[in-house]
Amino acid sequence: MHQHHRALGLAVAPLGTRSGADIARLRPAQPVTLLRPHAARRAARFFVEKFPGRSLYAVKANPSPDLLQILWDAGVTHYDVASIGEVRLVSTTLPEATLCFMHPVKAEEAIAEAYFDHGVRTFSLDTLEELEKIVGATSTDGVAATDLNLLVRIRVSSDHAKLSLASKFGAQPDEVKALLFAARQAADGLGICFHVGSQAMTPAAYSEAMSRVRDAIIEAAVTVDIVDVGGGFPSAYPGMEPPALENYFSVIHAAFEALPISYSAELWCEPGRALCAEYASLIVRVEKRRGDELYINDGAYGALFDAAHIGWRYPVQLLREPESNTRPAEFSFYGPTCDDLDHMAGPFELPADVRAGDYIEVGMLGAYGCAMRTGFNGFGVVNSEIVDDEPMASLYAEVEAPARSNVVKL
């Protein structure tokens, strides 16, 4: 069993590893994605070994087939898919994996293909209309399926999360009783699921949501077989240093044990960001400097979508030889397209003498960064390299290391 630490451990790579500095030394003209399979493997083992239930990887966070294989090899056997495209991808990549179709609003054709062609038996829903759709699409010659796991998604607060997921999906309190009762009649296994929002910064998000689950079970007076606490498990970013994930697991387990459910009921979770954020980072080149604005060759239509559109701050470091000894300063970034919206306000702290031709590593982009990339304006060509140094921040590092400079000597 690994030892894991809560601190935002900025790890120093041991001698002999291949790092971003080695890639920058080659002076690449295009952005380069750095992949760290060991980091994804470590995160997966953490959830497999420590979460007190079953972990489903939320594929939307990063659908890379290579990553899916890494997680499978590390013990993740169940996958949260949200579209027929994701169903097909995981079914092809991991034929033995168990797929759970957890989008609450699905096309009838997608449900049928998932059930009959890909063996999907678990579906989420938040309305009676969706329940009818699932039952109809999985029926054979008018006979309803008898092997469905149906998870009713209830609406819970996102107040403790950095990104809300409280407005689009989830049955309202006055709808839950009827929905649970109806789903119970159609389900082999009945579940309740929720999502506390992305990047939940306190375990209280889950304890409060589980109180809603308890109320729903008592009011509907149904037997619940599965409780799925969804995603929201955080990663570490500048200004966002969460408590240890073990604290989240402990709170969730205690709340689960207190629910009025049978001894055989299962506890599930759907980590996305927490499993893949540390998997990738990005090397970009500074093409121009204008005051405290740096023009770089990736941006809002590439891996830095969240940095542009929701102001997400990622860790950065300057890759330069010789090392800069100047004081740090705060910068914003412009991406390579002709669009003014291709702007990342930051602030991103780098040595004050950063200049055109320098290379910057942007960390923690394994979650959503790779998944959001487009080819807008003819940009988007990115090479990938596997490295074995530590990610710029980690919730899973085996040994806490002292903070390092934001300049890496090549």
Contact status, residue 56 vs residue 100, Cβ threshold 8 Å: yes
pTM: 0.90
DSSP letter string, 177-245: HHHHHHHHHH-SEEEEE----EEE-STHHHHHHHHHHHHHHHHHT----EEE--S-----BTTB-PPPH
Residue 272: pLDDT band (50, 70, 90) is very high
Can you tell me the distance from the alpha carbon of 196 to that of 199, in angstroms, rounded to the nearest whole number?
9
Helical axes 245-257 vs 204-220, angle rounded to 10° = 20
Q: Which residues are catalytic?
A: 338
Mean pLDDT, all residues of the chain: 90
The CATH-assigned architecture of domain 37-276 is Alpha-Beta Barrel (3.20)
Provide the pLDDT for residue 378: 86
- 317 φ, ψ to 5°? -150, 145
Strand ranges in 59-188 using DSSP code E only, listed in sequence order: 78-81, 98-101, 122-125, 149-153, 161-163
Distances (CA, A) of 164 to 169, 243, 280, 306: 11, 19, 24, 14
Given a cut of 80, is residue 210 above it in pLDDT? yes
Provide the pLDDT for residue 16: 56
Can you tell me the distance from the alpha carbon of 216 to that of 154, in angstroms, rounded to the nearest whole number?
9
Can you tell me the distance from the alpha carbon of 284 to that of 334, in angstroms, rounded to the nearest whole number?
12
Residue 78: pLDDT band (50, 70, 90) is very high
- On the question of a cis peptide bond just before residue 203, with omega within 30 degrees of 0, the verdict is no
- Region 234-254 average pLDDT: 94
Tell me the residue length of the chain: 410
Given a cut of 90, is residue 262 above it in pLDDT? no
Provide the pLDDT for residue 17: 79
Share above pLDDT 70 across residues of the chain, in percent, rounded to a whole number: 92
- Region 267-290 average pLDDT: 97
Can you tell me the distance from the alpha carbon of 139 to that of 308, in angstroms, rounded to the nearest whole number?
45
How do the domains of the chain map onto residue ranges? 20-35+278-409, 37-276
Per the listing, tokens 């500048």 go with 238
Hey, do 20-35+278-409 and 37-276 end up sharing a CATH topology, with the first three levels equal?
Answer: no
The pLDDT tens digits for 1-49 are 333 332 333 344 454 579 999 999 999 999 999 999 999 999 999 999 9
Provide the pLDDT for residue 370: 82
Can you tell me the distance from the alpha carbon of 348 to that of 352, in angstroms, rounded to the nearest whole number?
11
Of residues 211 and 168, more confidence is placed in: 211
Contact status, residue 195 vs residue 229, Cβ threshold 8 Å: no
The pLDDT tens digits for 183-195 are 999 999 999 999 9
Given a cut of 80, is residue 318 above it in pLDDT? yes
Provide the pLDDT for residue 397: 76
Given a cut of 90, is residue 117 above it in pLDDT? yes
Pairs from 100-104 (Cβ < 8 Å, separation ≥ 24): 100/56, 100/124, 100/149, 102/56, 102/58, 102/151, 102/193, 102/228, 102/270, 104/130, 104/153, 104/169, 104/170
Provide the pLDDT for residue 380: 83
Given a cut of 60, is residue 279 above it in pLDDT? yes
The CATH-assigned architecture of domain 20-35+278-409 is Beta Barrel (2.40)
CB count within 10 Å of CB 18 equals 14
Provide the pLDDT for residue 30: 95
| Chain centre distance of CA 217 | 28
Provide the pLDDT for residue 398: 60
The pLDDT tens digits for 87-100 are 999 999 999 999 99
Nearest Cα to 167, choosing from 176, 179, 158?
Answer: 158
Can you tell me the distance from the alpha carbon of 150 to that of 335, in angstroms, rounded to the nearest whole number?
43
The pLDDT tens digits for 120-177 are 999 999 999 999 999 999 999 999 999 999 999 998 887 877 777 777 887 888 899 9
- Region 345-367 average pLDDT: 96
Provide the pLDDT for residue 371: 86
